[in-house]
Structure 1
């Protein structure tokens, strides 16, 4: 409804008013308010908003991750919590759809798990023979956080002794996926070089990603060298790798990324929203550190009001006690006294300085950084100085984000890698999976799997175990899932080991350990207090 507008015209009994504002025009969209008059951003396409700025964002993100402790902590904490030593496979074939029993599905899963580990734990799964597949997860995830996306290509090599599989994986950093042409290697990307055309088929190539008329990804363009690499003198060449195999429809190359907008083809670095604040906090910290170092020194300055000759303070120390023989260096000895000539004066540095505002101010900035990265500042700083409730809430908030990123990463890297490996394992008859290549639905049923990794830290083990037992009892969760999420172990392996231990204790005549009983009426810990056993 128009508001507070002057009467401009009257037609019969109807009064027409001039419309001054509608909707957000006098609030968030106002250009008349002083607080908003100079705020005139324009949102454009993902290519204009993201791709044009990617080189700068990647460079600053990498520099922050290497040189700013807060950025390093944010990257490493996410990597440690999401990937850890590598996400582990738990095959879950859909036995009802496959027409087999649950026991047969479990036995099949155990065989596949061991067979997959034969390939994944070997360095021969890496084209470079540098890392096993679990370590490659760590590398791919870290580069995804720093650069916004990372890439992995499937290649095949002749099997070697001890490695019956030919599947190999090669990782690529995001900067090597770029448009063909030397302009991609010259520095900042201009708006006119983000999108080029493939002269062979007329497809658009958007920052190294080729798309068809529908906008579907059909290929990636990989350069043989890094941009701005002075150590590599070979001429740049680009290889076009089709995104999917023509015969199988399976991926030839994986892009580990998370899009934020429709029609976005390249990822944004994890630190991009907080880069400015991170850098400013780093500069402030460096300034305070430098000031503290200067404050710890006792420095004197000689002031001269006229150009004289000779300086009696040179005689403060004997030639034998001097450290420097430079006549322009002046040294002070313990308990020495000397006379300065007329016109000279000695001034010491004012060492009075307080850091009383440093910690509360930076903590507020770190809280904003943590909110932007979905990692509470307690987690980034590894400082749980609040109450039990607050510390647990911080961990829960962080782990909600970690679990989402684990699902994303598993979808982009782990599951496609497993499905490609399983296809070869079935093809060379090391794994039996009837109907795998004849029915896509059956193939999907055989490939179903879950991925487990690091678990959240436990502040109160007793309460966590009680909650876990209650979830299992109510059918909300399973013992296998709880074992994986609470301890990172396999429930099947746990119970098998327990059976072995109990049998051995009985054979030796040792009493079995009684099951520990937990108190359900244990009181909640007080704010700032600890839980009593």
Structure 2
């Protein structure tokens, strides 16, 4: 109680008590009366859970992926949104620009520029051919487009670095893209160490469990365990493309996840409107008259138009 409160309580005890009660009431004017209120009508039926990243995200990944893919394949709004992002981010492909710190390396500026040109030229040879792809199908820029599209639709995408020098190739570095569905638990049951195919040891990222094929196409018969980091080099062996929203989150959420319901309703509405327009265009009007002279009917219509 401050000096003013003491003076008021001395002169008027009732006024002092009232001030103290009002001060205590102010302490309760917090989130319980706003965003955490259970009494306001706005929050009636607003049911929420208080789970962690595993409960809120990991347990729902499969159905979110399936619904996101379905919207992308069948709803023009969803398709357009994904494709626009893909075009704006990747376009024809991201190209590296070599920039060497000549001072740190103890090189002259001329030598550094020559080395930069050499690096860019060698990268171009590797990137513009299919030698960069483990499946020997796409070049590096096409792989970029696939990786981004897959991560947007499915929530994440994996790129594994491998080394395999084929006959006639200059470089052995290969990139193997893995769709998110293939990274899953071998026994289909999650535990504290392995969640949706990603294993942690002692609180650190340890390995990825990858099925030999897509579970939606064929029965999974075997799994490959790929260490997250090289045992001898310590370099990262797997690139996981996803956006982390929660602490402890191991898998990504599809871009369309928050608007799946809205996009589904909009897609149905658009289809209904188009169907209605098509049906409406099939209706025709027939005028019957006892007068067989059609010229009289046309003349009557023209007079009606002129009168208007």
Report the TM-score, using the length of structure 1 for normalisation: 0.49
Q: Which structure's residues are more often helix, by fraction? A: 2
Q: In the alignment, what sits opposite 1:196? A: 191
- The residue aligned with 1:225 is 213
Unaligned 5+ runs, structure 2: 1-12, 291-308
1:22–1:217 distance in 2 versus 1, CA, 3 Å = same
1:179 paired residue among 168, 174, 185: 185
Counterpart secondary structure, 1:294: helix
Matches of 1:208 and 1:152, distance apart in 2? 15
> After superposition, what is the alpha-carbon deviation per residue over 1:247-284, rounded to whole angstroms, capped at 9, x for unaligned?
11111111111111211111110111111111111111
Q: Map 1:79-478; keep pairs closer than 5 Å.
A: 79-161=86-168, 163-181=169-187, 183=188, 193=189, 195-196=190-191, 204-214=193-203, 216-229=204-217, 232-233=218-219, 235-298=220-283
Contact 2:131 / 2:171 at 8 angstroms: preserved in 1? Answer: no
Question: In the TM superposition, what is the alpha-carbon distance from 1:42 to its structure 2 partner?
Answer: 2.0
Structure 1, unaligned runs of 5 or more: 1-9, 184-192, 198-203, 301-334, 338-533
Q: Confirm or deny that 1:70 pairs with 2:77.
A: yes
Q: Deviations over 1:311-360 (max 9, x none)?
A: xxxxxxxxxxxxxxxxxxxxxxxx9x9xxxxxxxxxxxxxxxxxxxxxxx
Provide the rounded CA distance (Å) in 1 between the counterparts of 2:284 and 2:176: 56
14 and 251 in structure 1: CA distance in 2 versus 1, 3 angstrom threshold:
same
- Distance in 2 between residues matched to 1:141 and 1:293, nearest whole Å: 37
Q: 2:16 & 2:140 partners in 1: Cα distance?
A: 80
Find the counterpart in structure 2 of residue 50 from structure 1.
57
Alpha carbons 1:30, 1:37 under 8 Å: kept? no
Q: Answer yes or no: is the 8 Å Cα contact 1:206–1:265 preserved in 2.
A: yes
Deviations 1:115-174 (A, max 9, x none): 11111111121111110111100100100100111001111213321x221111111000
SS in 1 for 2:186: coil
Deviations 1:503-532 (A, max 9, x none): xxxxxxxxxxxxxxxxxxxxxxxxxxxxxx
Q: 2:44 aligns with which of 37, 57, 60?
A: 37
Contact 1:179 1:196 in 2 (8 A): no
Deviation at 1:28, TM superposition (A): 1.5
Secondary structure in structure 2 of the residue aligned to 1:76:
helix
The alignment's C-alpha RMSD in Å is 2.6
Once residues 26 and 113 of structure 1 are traced to their aligned partners in structure 2, the CA distance between those partners, rounded to angstroms, is: 61
Check whether the contact 1:87–1:134 (CA below 8 A) recurs between aligned residues. yes
Offset, 1:104: 2.0
TM-score norm. by structure 2 comes to 0.82
Instruction: Report the Cα distance in structure 2 between the residues aligned to 1:213 and 1:67, rounded to whole angstroms.
Output: 43
Shift of residue 12, structure 1, vs aligned partner: 12
- Please say if 1:26 is aligned against 2:33: yes
Secondary structure of the residue aligned to 1:90 is: coil
* Residues paired across the two proteins, number: 274
CA distance in 1, matches of 2:196, 2:56: 13
